[in-house]
């Protein structure tokens, strides 16, 4: 879907890639923003919209729900400014997240959705200038199908001696990432202690998850790093998930962050006895699931080593970013998630809980009035 959209919009957006970057361009100013990802409050499911336990009679990607997502960028002119560029992360397609449609709407600018890695993409806006009082915006409107996942994964499916990893997995998910120090001395020490008691990679991942829950005290705040979280034994969901990733990588188990509104969890990669590689979701904060996911969550990004092409640096989570020359324009980063009622049903028009809107500080707050919103995370 992303590729087809790119082909539709490539002609209109060719100038975006051709414009000069910040480096070497005098007078340009830029700002970056990253919203909070700090959920730590345990979620108790209602048994329907959020599972308390996985189903006993089926496996796979289950219980599809349709959502409308709008993600965008908007400038308001406060004076004469030129060379406007801005980016914001947008969801990619995954087995549990299907992009049914995508349209990029623009006003006074050029814009495109640009995939950056297999797990990350961004909406890119560019405009030659803006006058006082003028509004420039770009919005990516998507229709997504989100699914829960339960595959009945068990230790017995995965050999203790794992086969040689695919090149892309080894390259992207065994190295350090920004703020994720796989080679930190405390990381190596804890990982080695876990490995001495647990020889199977499944057991190692399970023991790492348990160690984090028992050792890292929940403390909401700006992200520090794996090294600092290990030293202080404190952190929120982002530190906890990053610690899981670092400890797994230290034991040569590929792992990555999963970023959803206001929250992070992790995935580790294991190959089964049929030679098939699987990403196993592991929730070390908020939810208590290992190997499955019992909620419909909008996945913004998977992975934690993404090069931001405009800034030229590697980021753990893609930042909102804007650049301009001249009078600083007003701006806002738009985000809205709206559940849609099931199609083809005349008896059940309940769209379910989960409507969210991205606030100025980047937090995706619940905005609906569904009675079961009380079961969902709002921080």
Tokens of 94: 């995954």
Angle at 29 between CA 28 and CA 33, to 5 degrees: 145
CB atoms within 10 A of CB 288: 15
Tokens of 125: 């806006």
Does residue 16 surpass a pLDDT of 50? no
* pLDDT score, position 12: 37
For residue 244, the SS3 value is helix
Domains annotated on the chain, with CATH: 2-13+30-42+63-148+309-375 (2.60.40.2250), 158-290 (3.10.620.30)
Of the pLDDT bands very low, low, confident and very high (cuts 50, 70, 90), residue 214 is very high
Does residue 311 surpass a pLDDT of 90? yes
Of the pLDDT bands very low, low, confident and very high (cuts 50, 70, 90), residue 1 is very low
CA–CA distances in Å: residue 192 to residues 101, 129, 208, 222: 46, 56, 11, 29
Does residue 148 surpass a pLDDT of 80? yes
- What is the arithmetic mean of pLDDT over 298-303? 98
Tokens of 91: 């969801």
* pLDDT score, position 3: 33
Euclidean distance between CA atoms 64 and 52, whole angstroms: 18
pLDDT tens, 324-365?
Answer: 999 999 999 999 999 999 876 555 788 999 999 999 999 999
- What is the arithmetic mean of pLDDT over 88-111? 98
Q: Beta strand pairing status for 234-235 and 217-218?
A: parallel
CA–CA distances in Å: residue 146 to residues 50, 55, 347, 353: 13, 17, 22, 13
* pLDDT score, position 7: 32
Of the pLDDT bands very low, low, confident and very high (cuts 50, 70, 90), residue 24 is very low
Does residue 66 surpass a pLDDT of 80? yes
* pLDDT score, position 345: 57
* pLDDT score, position 343: 78
- What is the arithmetic mean of pLDDT over 300-323? 97
- What is the arithmetic mean of pLDDT over 5-22? 38
* pLDDT score, position 26: 61
44 burial (CB, 10 Å; 0-12 / 13-18 / 19+) is exposed
* pLDDT score, position 19: 39
Does residue 169 surpass a pLDDT of 60? yes
Tokens of 222: 């700006």
* pLDDT score, position 344: 66
Euclidean distance between CA atoms 36 and 199, whole angstroms: 36
CB atoms within 10 A of CB 176: 16
Q: What stretches of 174-274 show up as alpha helix (H) in DSSP?
A: 185-197, 201-215, 226-232, 237-250
Question: How is the chain split among helix, strand and coil, in percent rounded to 5?
Answer: 20, 35, 40
Nearest to 75 by CA among 5, 34, 129: 129
Question: What are the φ/ψ torsions at residue 194 (nearest 5 degrees)?
Answer: -70, -40
- What is the arithmetic mean of pLDDT over 60-72? 97
pLDDT tens, 70-98?
Answer: 999 999 999 999 999 999 999 999 999 99
Nearest to 309 by CA among 116, 80, 69, 48: 116
pLDDT tens, 363-374?
Answer: 999 998 999 999
Helix-helix angle 237-250:185-197, to 10 degrees: 70
Of the pLDDT bands very low, low, confident and very high (cuts 50, 70, 90), residue 46 is confident
Query: Mean pLDDT, the chain, as a whole number?
Result: 92
Of the pLDDT bands very low, low, confident and very high (cuts 50, 70, 90), residue 378 is confident
């Amino acid at each position: 879907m992303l590729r087809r959209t790119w082909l539709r919009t490539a002609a209109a957006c060719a100038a975006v890639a051709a414009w000069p970057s910040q480096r070497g361009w005098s007078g340009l100013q830029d700002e970056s923003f990253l919203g909070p990802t700090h959920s730590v409050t345990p979620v108790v499911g209602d048994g329907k919209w959020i599972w308390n336990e996985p189903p006993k009679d089926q496996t796979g990607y289950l219980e599809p729900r349709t959502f409308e997502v709008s993600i965008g960028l908007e400038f308001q002119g406060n004076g004469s400014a030129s060379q406007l560029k801005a980016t914001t992360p947008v969801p990619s397609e995954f087995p549990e997240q299907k992009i049914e449609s995508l349209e990029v709407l623009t006003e006074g600018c050029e814009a495109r959705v640009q995939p950056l890695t297999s797990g990350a993409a961004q909406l890119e806006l560019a405009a030659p200038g803006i006058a006082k009082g003028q509004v420039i915006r770009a919005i990516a409107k998507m229709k997504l199908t989100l699914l829960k996942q339960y595959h009945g994964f068990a230790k017995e499916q995965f050999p203790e001696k794992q086969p040689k990893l695919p090149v892309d997995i080894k390259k992207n998910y065994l190295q350090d990432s920004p703020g994720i120090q796989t080679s930190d001395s405390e990381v190596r020490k804890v990982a080695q202690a876990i490995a001495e008691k647990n020889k199977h990679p499944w057991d190692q991942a399970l023991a790492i998850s348990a160690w984090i829950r028992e050792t890292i005290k929940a403390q909401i705040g700006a992200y520090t790093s794996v090294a600092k979280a290990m030293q202080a034994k404190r952190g929120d969901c982002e530190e906890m998930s990053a610690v899981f990733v670092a400890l797994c990588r230290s034991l040569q188990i590929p792992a990555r962050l999963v970023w959803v509104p206001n929250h992070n969890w992790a995935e580790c990669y294991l190959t089964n006895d049929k030679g098939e590689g699987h990403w196993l979701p592991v929730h070390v904060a908020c939810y208590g699931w290992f190997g499955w996911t019992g909620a419909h969550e909008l996945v913004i990004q998977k992975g934690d080593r993404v090069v931001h092409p405009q800034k030229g640096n590697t980021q753990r989570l893609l930042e909102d970013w804007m650049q301009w020359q001249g009078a600083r324009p007003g701006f806002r980063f738009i985000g809205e998630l709206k559940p849609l009622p099931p199609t083809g049903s005349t008896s059940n028009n309940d769209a379910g809980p989960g409507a969210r809107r991205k606030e100025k500080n980047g937090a995706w707050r619940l905005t609906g009035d569904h009675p079961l919103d009380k079961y969902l995370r709002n921080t």
